[in-house]
């Protein structure tokens, strides 16, 4: 092989190997910062499609309904804890349902309430407890302000979450 070709081949192969190493480092760094979305039942049973379970210390995003009667606020600080269950209709919860406890320190969104859907970003600790760094309240996409509903002639009905109680017989 000609020395000139050998030198070009060495340079090109060095550049390709360097780019591959850089791409590997970038992908590794990105994989450490990904928040995977889980439902409360998937924390216990693993993802539905792959069966992969979350591990302690993993950053994740969890979505579900706040279980009525599970919100506990610390009167001395902004600490709050509550339980999340899978979203399903009609809204009903039982003790046998997989529930995840979320702890959060900070001010909760205005739309946060029992029976409401929320999404929390945080870290999994102790198997079924999430230390949340952010809590987002989801709103009903069918919401219509009372004034607009009256103007449109529709009866405005506030959702009744009192039926969504823990029912051990359910």
* pLDDT tens for each residue of 70-96: 889 988 888 899 988 876 654 556 666
Is residue 63 one of the residues assigned to a domain? yes
Beta-bridged to residue 82, according to DSSP, are: 102
Is residue 153 one of the residues assigned to a domain? no
DSSP string, 100-144: EEEEEESPPPTT--TT-EEEEEEEEETTTEEEEEEEEE---TT--
Range of the domain at 53: 36-140
23-37, 91-105, 127-141: range with highest mean pLDDT: 127-141
Is residue 116 one of the residues assigned to a domain? yes
Q: Are 110 and 84 in contact (CB under 8 A)?
A: no
- First vs last Cα of the chain: how many Å apart? 79
| Digit-coded pLDDT (tens) for 127-164 | 788 898 998 886 665 655 555 566 555 555 555 555 54
Virtual torsion, Cα 19, 25, 26, 27, nearest 10 deg: 110
Q: Of residues 90 and 69, which shows the higher confidence score? A: 69
Please indicate, yes or no, whether residues 97 and 118 belong to a single structural domain of this protein: yes
Please indicate, yes or no, whether residues 22 and 45 belong to a single structural domain of this protein: no
47-56, 74-83, 110-119: range with highest mean pLDDT: 74-83
Is residue 168 one of the residues assigned to a domain? no
Question: How many domains, in total, are found in the chain?
Answer: 2
Please indicate, yes or no, whether residues 45 and 117 belong to a single structural domain of this protein: yes
Identify the burial level of 121 via C-beta atoms within 10 angstroms of its C-beta, where 0-12 means exposed, 13-18 middle and 19 or more buried: middle
């Amino acid at each position: 092989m000609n020395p000139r070709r050998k030198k070009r081949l060495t340079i090109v192969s060095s550049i390709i190997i360097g780019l591959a190493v850089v791409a590997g480092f970038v992908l590794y760094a990105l994989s450490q910062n990904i928040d995977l979305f889980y439902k409360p039942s998937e924390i216990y049973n693993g993802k539905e499609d792959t069966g992969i379970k979350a591990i302690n210390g993993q950053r994740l995003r969890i979505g579900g309904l706040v279980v009525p009667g599970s919100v506990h606020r610390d009167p001395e600080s902004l600490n709050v804890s509550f339980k999340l269950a899978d979203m399903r209709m009609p809204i009903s919860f039982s003790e046998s349902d997989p529930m995840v406890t979320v702890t959060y320190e900070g001010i909760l969104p205005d739309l946060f309430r029992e029976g409401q859907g929320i999404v929390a970003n945080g870290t999994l600790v102790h198997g079924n407890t999430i230390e949340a760094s952010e809590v987002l309240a989801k709103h009903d996409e069918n919401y219509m302000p009372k004034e607009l509903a009256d103007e449109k002639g529709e009866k405005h009905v506030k959702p009744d979450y009192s039926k969504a109680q823990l029912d051990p017989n359910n």
